[in-house]
Structure 1
Amino acid sequence: MRCAAGAVPPKGSGLKRSIEKAFGGGRSVLDIGVRRVTERGIERFDGALVAGLALAPIDLESLDREQVAALNAGMAGFLAGLDSPVQLLVSNYRFDSEGYLSGTIQRWRGDWLTKTGLRERLVASPDDPSAWSEFASAAAADGNLRQIRVRLMLPAHRGRGKSPPDAESRIERIGAALSQTGIAWRALSGLELVLELERAFLHGGGLLANALAAGGPVRIVEGLENLAFDLADPLPEWIEFAPRHMRFPRTDGDRFCAAGYVRALPRAVQPGWLALPSRFDFDMTLSLHMDPLPDEEVMRRVAQSEREIAGALDDAAGADPVAAREQRWRAEDVGELAEAMRGRECYFKLGAYYLVGADGQEELDDHLRTLRSVLAGIGLVGSGAFGYQRQALMSILPLARERLIRRRGITSAPLAAAHPGSGRGRADPGGWLLGACGWDKGPSAPFLFNPFAPAYENPHVAILGQSGTGKTHLARAIAYSAWLSGAEVALIDPKNEYGSLCRRCAGSEISLDLGRGSALNVFDAVGDDERSYAGGIANVAGFWRAALGKMSDHQAALLSNAIEEICPPSGGRTGRRPLASDLAAELAGDHSIDGAGRAAAQDLAQRLRRFCGPSMGRLFSSPTNVQLDNDFLSFKLAGLRAQDVDVFSLAVRLTLLALARWLNRPADRRLILIDEAWCLLHDRAGSRFLLDLAKTARAQGAMMLMITQDVADFAANPLARSVLANCSAAMIFRQHRAHAAALAELFDLDSEGSARVSTLRRGQALAALAGGERVAIEVFDHPW
């Protein structure tokens, strides 16, 4: 199959024609050797079936020494398990903000159930400079956002007369090895592999995909009904191969690319020594062909080389000192290889090829000079594929086929430390654009985070940071993104920091204060059915135990019995929900107990009356007078926080009990934001309440966003640790050095990593994601 139609080469001088003839220059067609595209992969003309895996980049910058050492060991184990050649492709390309916006907005529109007109205006109105689409476009441009794409291509050769190889079993085996290393992966479909061909060829130019469409989707495609629609752009007329570069015609301007290879490797390496694509702010693809050699073959070659070197040294001894020195160097290399093989390392033939793209010839030359400079700085030697651009390009296309054979020998230890797929970035399916990855200046990758993505077992998120570090800024961005995506949002605002966001979303602001404001009746938490009734009674009893303070086990039992008495199952209710004053009257007037029990009940009643008086009665002993039917709720508790911290903590708990019933309303996704979550985490009872709420919310498809200042708040007790363990992510802003030990324990950081967190600037955070992934992020400055 051909990717472009042929054309007559342009006329020129005889010298130019001779160069074109000798090196394959001129306008040409390129036979990429694809027979057909199946649902699971690509079949080449030589019978090989090529499957592909998408791998998640690893951010080495956010890992400490121990984590890097563990990663190296895992990669060495993965390499040792390879028994046939593979191709690793790593591409660096500009973040497609337009594609991201169009896809995201279209997906969000499908989830809007209320306020559709308002959401449409806030997301995509061209007249609103603070519209989400305008913000995202500007943030992507200002941040010079780029993305690292990592693909592992697995060829399976079919011999003559043999059945097709079992590609799926190989994918599962290699995928399991990657998972043990800590690298997330997924299998690519045949359509995705076609689009990978397009991206690798032109960084999105579309030529290869168009060529496949021209061949006819019925003939070459199985099970991909929408392929013809996706590949409907017009075909190019020609491709020009010059000795040093390639040129591709496009409607928006020609595209120039140059291919080359790495022809010398460094003798000593550092982790990430081959992570080339992440170093540049221009389009680049690195293709690694890794071919494992059997140990027996390697040792046979070692023995043969040792014999040859011994003979050459004898011949050169005393006669040719330069030749003798070169042979001694060669002997050292062979000796090191023999020692490595005896140490159970593996040996590979490595072909490393690169493709650099630009929009003009001068720009391409600048990129190539930058590349050569970087290569020289890390001990690598690159070479342009002069006259062999066609073969180099074929070695870079994601078809697991090496046409320009330029290989070097390498053992598994330095190859395991290469980490060519290292790069910043987090791109969850349907992710919200919250910031850029990385803490230094230069090109960054987008941080696209979606706690509702299938990759996360729990959707909950914790945000930790000192005052002034930007944690509330990130919380507002998450809440706003969730609401724009169609989720319902309820938040606890203890410092009047979310009012403008609530009004922007046409939400309801509910003010809770002493002696005035709204009221929430804690007894509303008791449900009508058997299950919610038992859970509600337990929640109400827990609330009043926290409110009344220390009590004996006997008093706790008396309290629970009194609550059940005034709040019977639905069949025995009078219609009015009881209040705190009813509970106090029940405890004081219960004549079924006497002696010490009577005194214990009277003590509880006396303590309860504090919550029934003029000051606190409005909040804690009044019928609920607010409606929770808006899809954006803001509970304002600033007045309580300023007056009494203990009462503020009770009000937070009361609000969350009301929201526990709010979770029963029909909705696909919800978010509950709890600012100043320390007020519940500081004791076991509050932590238990949060943990139970987290489990309830998860079952209802809701996300909890908990914000607190110190990491020590989650280390206060075992239940607080369990709350953190139920989070899909923790966004860690600057922490005090005194909390280094808690950071190291909770997030598996070494002393260097913990110290680095204490030096972060405003807006910088370490995202500790489920599965052990760590991503350095810088939150975008947004207007909400």
Structure 2
Amino acid sequence: MTRLRFNRRTPSHGRVVDGARLLQVAGPEALEVHARTVAVGGHLATTLVVTGYPAEVTPGWLAPLLNFPGHLDIALHIEPVPNPVAAAGLKKQRARLESGRRHGFDRGHLDDPEVEAAAADAADLAYRIARGEGKLFHFSLYLTVHAPDEETLAEQAAAVRAVAESLLMTVAPTTYRALPGWLATLPLGIDTLKVRRTFDTAALAACFPFTSPDLPITTSTDGAASGVLYGLNTASGAPVMWDRFSQDNYNSITLARSGAGKSYLTKLELLRLLFTGATASVIDPEDEYVRLAETVGGTVIALGADGVRLNPFDLPTAAGGDGGEDVLTRRVLFLHTFLAVLLGAELTAAEKALLDTALLATYTRVGITADPRTWRRTPPTLTDLAAVLAENGSQAAAALGDRLAPYTTGSHAQLFNGHTTTPATGHLVVFALRQLTEEVKAPAMLLALDAIWRQVTCRAEHGRHLVVVDEAWLLMRDGAGAKFLFRMAKAARKYWTGLAVVTQDADDVLTSDLGRAIVSNAATQILLRQAPQAIDTISENFHLCQGEREYLLAAGRGEALLLTGDRRHKAALISVAAPGEHEVITTDPGELAAQDTFPGTDDRYDDGPLGSSAGAGWES
């Protein structure tokens, strides 16, 4: 257990601290002071003072101390230095350094690299303070180790010293100052030791261990830290920041059993990415993202509702989006895939040849040919394809026409037969598929994915875009759908787009070659609680150790294991949402019923953390 104290104080002069008075109110029942230790009640404590720091550090470099497994209190005392005082001190320091340099030059000595570096740093800092770009601070760092007996205390203190020295810090015990050392790490905001160093703003900011040491620090093009908050590290409580758009590819795979919180975590990342200016599109089979879209002003396309339709024959709105390739040919190839999924079976070679000819003839009938100037004309519909097949006169064409009848004149004609009614445009577009029957959900998902892909490849303003496919097992169980998802995973990076595949059925993803290929093309891999029946497959494909395997079996709702594609970095985390975020993204039946927004009793609405305390309350 590690406790961290931040004490920022205003300058005080001649302040006398009465330790007995402080302990009289809420102190321990007994206190015994030794040379280097303090017996506080029934346990011992010793304090280490950091007296030396490394020359260069990175953000979050103190995080290993925060993750120390023993009972360790860490106190950082920060006291700002007024700018006039800082400027005067730097002026004197620069004068001393310059005097030393000139004295050595007059005596014919070679330049001292350390003096030269110190002079350059002092000059740079002085100019930054003069321009108001930084400040100086008095900084103190103390470490108090607790243990039940002297032997354990010595071992724990040696372990803390080893961690500190591995960070290139120099530590010293508070010999004959054990009581002031212990008081300095209490939440009193009083520096009773005053062993200080002077830090500038950048160096002080790097001392805050508010990053997870298990993951690399991601930065944007201007060098600033990037990414969104995924949650808190389950071991240390430190925030876990991750930026999928700074990885080799921007794809992710999220696997979990039902109710583990996978959709909750996905919606949380999606919402925070929208705050950073990214855009997103979502395939939502259970209408779990509708409230989120309505809250942030997104577009909801409820396929299956009256008057809502997507035309599979639509061509991209901008021909230049595919690099000058034959858009018509690519569209015909997609229609082969779509019709195979729609009809529920792979077509024979003869049927494919017949269908290819019929598709080209259908486009030709409305004036769309290989000439790019014709691609902006009104596209045909399934009714036009059925008419071309009927005019063919062959038995195979008649059979294909009969199989298309439910979607041209039958019960599903409203969904697939006709021109597109709602354009898929906006900063967040959600394709809500809850109203669809299971028989048409897979082809509707494929059609929605195609509409998203056309918008991604043909958008005028390029920027970060996230495509979320929730309950992807509905599409992965179909071979043609899995192929389309695989092609999107391979090509999305070229358009600054990430594909987030979310599913609860690991077998549909990991037992097929296409599924494993999608996983291998995901630089971000998130595993939540797994069922015992699936853990062997998960462990084998993600190369989990025994501890990680047991963690996934016992993980609570919202607890996840974040892996990077190269397997070198990983972090255990728990998703945390602010109360406002939680209200938007939760699908807990009890909470929605209390808000009078629950659309009906359905056990599919169980994928978020339980209770309103799952937002801010998860920090405890």
TM-score between the two structures when normalised by the length of structure 2: 0.63
1:81-230 matches, within 5 Å, as 90=62, 205=79, 214=91, 220-221=120-121, 227-228=128-129
2:182 — aligned with what? 365
Read off the aligned partner of 1:688 and give its amino acid letter. Answer: K
Distance in 2 (alpha carbons) for counterparts of 1:273 and 1:563: 76
Count the aligned residue pairs: 461
Distance apart, 1:684 and its partner CA: 3.0
**Could you say if the C-alpha distance between residues 52 and 544 of structure 1 is closer, same or farther in structure 2, counting changes exceeding 3 Å?**
same
1:278-317 CA distance string (max 9 Å, x none) = 9xxxxxx823488xxxxxxxxxxxxxxxxxxxxxxxxxxx
1:683 — aligned with what? 478
Secondary structure at the aligned position of 1:287 is classed as helix
1:181 — aligned with what? none
Read off the aligned partner of 2:422 and give its amino acid letter. Answer: V
Distance apart, 1:712 and its partner CA: 2.3
Distance in 2 (alpha carbons) for counterparts of 1:423 and 1:574: 53
Distance apart, 1:683 and its partner CA: 3.5
Gaps of 5+ in 2: 1-12, 17-50, 69-73, 95-116, 146-150, 188-192, 204-210, 219-224, 364-368, 585-620
Contact preservation (8 Å) 2:279, 2:464: yes
1:580 — aligned with what? 382
2:450 — aligned with what? 657
**Could you say if the C-alpha distance between residues 539 and 273 of structure 1 is closer, same or farther in structure 2, counting changes exceeding 3 Å?**
farther
1:198-347 matches, within 5 Å, as 205=79, 214=91, 220-221=120-121, 227-228=128-129, 257-258=141-142, 276=160, 286-288=164-166
Read off the aligned partner of 1:588 and give its amino acid letter. Answer: A
Contact preservation (8 Å) 2:287, 2:432: yes
1:625 — aligned with what? 421
Distance in 2 (alpha carbons) for counterparts of 1:55 and 1:234: 18
Secondary structure at the aligned position of 2:265 is classed as helix
Distance in 2 (alpha carbons) for counterparts of 1:561 and 1:92: 65
Read off the aligned partner of 2:583 and give its amino acid letter. Answer: P
Secondary structure at the aligned position of 1:510 is classed as strand
Contact preservation (8 Å) 1:694, 1:726: yes
Given candidates 286, 304, 309, the residue that maps to 1:495 is 286
Contact preservation (8 Å) 2:144, 2:185: no
**Could you say if the C-alpha distance between residues 763 and 235 of structure 1 is closer, same or farther in structure 2, counting changes exceeding 3 Å?**
closer
Secondary structure at the aligned position of 2:165 is classed as strand
Given candidates 703, 721, 734, the residue that maps to 2:516 is 721
Distance apart, 1:446 and its partner CA: 0.1
Given candidates 264, 270, 283, the residue that maps to 1:479 is 270
Contact preservation (8 Å) 2:530, 2:552: yes
2:229 — aligned with what? 433
Contact preservation (8 Å) 1:584, 1:605: yes
2:587 — aligned with what? none
Distance in 1 (alpha carbons) for counterparts of 2:59 and 2:118: 30
Distance in 1 (alpha carbons) for counterparts of 2:453 and 2:15: 78
Read off the aligned partner of 1:457 and give its amino acid letter. Answer: D
Given candidates 610, 616, 639, the residue that maps to 2:406 is 610
Matched, 1:783 2:583: yes
Contact preservation (8 Å) 1:427, 1:447: no
1:353 — aligned with what? 171
Distance apart, 1:756 and its partner CA: 2.5
Given candidates 509, 514, 523, the residue that maps to 2:313 is 523
Distance in 2 (alpha carbons) for counterparts of 1:426 and 1:704: 21
Distance apart, 1:522 and its partner CA: 0.8
2:348 — aligned with what? 552
1:338-379 CA distance string (max 9 Å, x none) = xxxxxxxxxxxxx963699xxx99784057799xxxxxxxxx
Matched, 1:513 2:304: yes
1:533-544 matches, within 5 Å, as 533-544=328-339
Gaps of 5+ in 1: 1-8, 13-31, 35-49, 57-88, 94-145, 149-199, 237-247, 249-254, 279-284, 291-350, 371-386, 400-420, 592-597
Read off the aligned partner of 1:511 and give its amino acid letter. Answer: A
Contact preservation (8 Å) 2:442, 2:474: yes
**Higher mean displacement: 485-494 or 569-578:** 569-578
Secondary structure at the aligned position of 2:259 is classed as coil
Distance apart, 1:532 and its partner CA: 3.3
1:73-98 CA distance string (max 9 Å, x none) = xxxxxxxxxxxxxxxx74568xxxxx
Distance in 2 (alpha carbons) for counterparts of 1:574 and 1:11: 80
Secondary structure at the aligned position of 1:757 is classed as helix
Distance in 1 (alpha carbons) for counterparts of 2:472 and 2:171: 52
Distance in 2 (alpha carbons) for counterparts of 1:523 and 1:226: 64
TM-score between the two structures when normalised by the length of structure 1: 0.51
Distance apart, 1:256 and its partner CA: 5.5
Distance in 1 (alpha carbons) for counterparts of 2:172 and 2:463: 45
1:687-698 matches, within 5 Å, as 687-698=482-493
Distance apart, 1:651 and its partner CA: 0.5
Distance in 2 (alpha carbons) for counterparts of 1:633 and 1:602: 38
Distance in 1 (alpha carbons) for counterparts of 2:129 and 2:231: 35
1:210-242 CA distance string (max 9 Å, x none) = 578655799625899984468766667xxxxxx
Secondary structure at the aligned position of 2:501 is classed as strand
Distance apart, 1:580 and its partner CA: 1.2
Secondary structure at the aligned position of 2:425 is classed as coil
Secondary structure at the aligned position of 2:500 is classed as strand
Distance in 2 (alpha carbons) for counterparts of 1:497 and 1:613: 31
Contact preservation (8 Å) 1:259, 1:354: no
Distance apart, 1:519 and its partner CA: 0.5
Distance in 1 (alpha carbons) for counterparts of 2:157 and 2:341: 56
**Could you say if the C-alpha distance between residues 33 and 608 of structure 1 is closer, same or farther in structure 2, counting changes exceeding 3 Å?**
closer
2:562 — aligned with what? 767
Distance in 2 (alpha carbons) for counterparts of 1:273 and 1:647: 65
Read off the aligned partner of 2:384 and give its amino acid letter. Answer: D
Distance in 2 (alpha carbons) for counterparts of 1:730 and 1:576: 42
Distance apart, 1:667 and its partner CA: 3.3
1:451 — aligned with what? 244
**Could you say if the C-alpha distance between residues 604 and 445 of structure 1 is closer, same or farther in structure 2, counting changes exceeding 3 Å?**
same
**Could you say if the C-alpha distance between residues 687 and 233 of structure 1 is closer, same or farther in structure 2, counting changes exceeding 3 Å?**
closer
Distance apart, 1:771 and its partner CA: 2.2
**Could you say if the C-alpha distance between residues 726 and 213 of structure 1 is closer, same or farther in structure 2, counting changes exceeding 3 Å?**
farther
Read off the aligned partner of 1:482 and give its amino acid letter. Answer: L
Distance apart, 1:699 and its partner CA: 1.2
**Could you say if the C-alpha distance between residues 492 and 681 of structure 1 is closer, same or farther in structure 2, counting changes exceeding 3 Å?**
same
Distance in 1 (alpha carbons) for counterparts of 2:465 and 2:263: 19
1:382 — aligned with what? none
**Higher mean displacement: 545-554 or 212-221:** 212-221
Distance apart, 1:550 and its partner CA: 2.7
Distance apart, 1:616 and its partner CA: 1.1
**Could you say if the C-alpha distance between residues 354 and 554 of structure 1 is closer, same or farther in structure 2, counting changes exceeding 3 Å?**
farther
1:761-784 CA distance string (max 9 Å, x none) = 111111112221221000014332
Distance apart, 1:539 and its partner CA: 1.4
Contact preservation (8 Å) 1:452, 1:459: yes
Distance apart, 1:479 and its partner CA: 1.3
Distance apart, 1:577 and its partner CA: 0.5
